[in-house]
Chains A and B, each alone.
Chain A
Amino acid sequence: MNPIRKQRIYALVAIVVASIVAIYLVISALSKNLNLFYSPTELVNSELSSETLIRAGGMVREGSIKRSKNSLNVEFIVTDFNSDLIINYSGILPDLFTENAGVVVQGYLIEDGTFKAIEVLAKHDENYMPPEVAKLMEKAE
């Protein structure tokens, strides 16, 4: 086999191997790190295991934010105007978090139907609502 052919095969092998490895990595990473988003209504009716990390969100109900006076625990209710979901979180809330605004939380659904949030995300654009929340607002209508 002439050397150029050989070299081409080496190059091709390198590319194919790297691609296969990458595809394997991507699929494996995705399957472990995809977080599905659920609305409060979907969670009420779901049978999700409390071991699965998921995202939930909605509008923070006015007057529902209850902060503990001497710990970092905070409880608030998130709604899609169809069902309410009680969220428990321990930590500092982001600056954009406020009543009557959209919020997305990441965490686990507990057996008693409440949600234990590991992260509270209130990043969004100028239009006040994370799109996930906006879309589920529409669905709830």
Chain B
Amino acid sequence: MTKILNILPLVAFGVLIVVLYSFLTQENDQLESVLVDQSVPEFELPSLEDPNKLIQKSDINQLPALINVWATWCIACRVEHPFLMKLKNQSTVTVYGLNYKDSREKALKLLENEGNPFEFSIFDQSGKLAIDLGVYGAPETFFIDEKGIIRERHVGALTEKVWKEKFGKYLKDKADA
């Protein structure tokens, strides 16, 4: 009897831990499922660089590509910026920017100071396209394959490690960074 009582707390906590683990992994799955395997939604928004120019889904045509959600108020974006510049110079994957809820003036200034890794940036001040994409905040990066389908979404700064481990599998056929 006492033996059972002694082991009981151990077993009970073991169960609790399994339950907590399942919560965590479930959260993970849910985060990742948005929009995967669907094409980029239709949109029409001004370009950051040229307010008079309207950008549409069809302008995202150099594939495969990344759509990177960024803003001047996003600090982690500064962390990933150098890596995005590296991608621009060394990779065949095009990086498109989605400037999210930002000031045009500040955003342009930042690109001028730090360099512009983007083919162009979509100026999504209201966040409409971001909402359609299921964006939580910045930085986030979506990987779009040659057919224009969203294959992967990464929340957080894009680093060499994430690039290799998360997006790498879609680039197997290319000689890439």
A binds B: yes
| In contact, A128 and B137 (Cβ under 8 angstroms) | yes
Closest to A128 in B: B137
- Please measure, in the bound complex, the distance between the C-alpha atom of A128 and the C-alpha atom of B138, giving whole angstroms: 10
| In contact, B136 and A141 (Cβ under 8 angstroms) | no
| In contact, A100 and B126 (Cβ under 8 angstroms) | yes
From known contacts A135-B30, A138-B34, infer whether A59 and B131 are also in contact, taking CB-CB under 8 Å. Answer: yes
| In contact, A141 and B134 (Cβ under 8 angstroms) | yes
Interface: B91 (CB within 8 A): no
| In contact, A100 and B127 (Cβ under 8 angstroms) | yes
Which residues of chain A are near B63, meaning CB under 8 Å? Answer: none
Which residues of chain B are near A141, meaning CB under 8 Å? Answer: 34-35, 38, 132, 134
Q: How would you classify the secondary structure of chain A's contact residues: helix, strand, loop or mixed?
A: loop
| In contact, B136 and A81 (Cβ under 8 angstroms) | no
Which residues of chain B are near A135, meaning CB under 8 Å? Answer: 30
Interface: A117 (CB within 8 A): no
Q: How many A-B residue pairs have CB under 8 A?
A: 27
From known contacts A81-B131, A141-B34, A141-B35, infer whether A134 and B126 are also in contact, taking CB-CB under 8 Å. Answer: no
In the complex, what's the smallest C-beta–C-beta distance from A4 to chain B, in angstroms? Answer: 15
Interface: B33 (CB within 8 A): yes
Which residues of chain B are near A138, meaning CB under 8 Å? Answer: 30, 33-34, 134
Closest to A59 in B: B131
In the complex, what's the smallest C-beta–C-beta distance from A43 to chain B, in angstroms? Answer: 20
Interface string of A102-141 (1 = CB under 8 A from B): 0000000000000000000000001111000011011001
| In contact, B137 and A126 (Cβ under 8 angstroms) | yes
Q: Pick the contact of B132 from A81, A126, A134 — CB < 8 Å?
A: A81
Interface: A62 (CB within 8 A): yes
Which residues of chain A are near B30, meaning CB under 8 Å? Answer: 135, 138
In the complex, what's the smallest C-beta–C-beta distance from A136 to chain B, in angstroms? Answer: 11
27 interchain pairs, CB-CB under 8 A: A59-B131, A62-B126, A81-B131, A81-B132, A100-B101, A100-B126, A100-B127, A126-B137, A127-B136, A127-B137, A128-B136, A128-B137, A129-B136, A134-B136, A135-B30, A137-B34, A137-B131, A137-B134, A138-B30, A138-B33, A138-B34, A138-B134, A141-B34, A141-B35, A141-B38, A141-B132, A141-B134
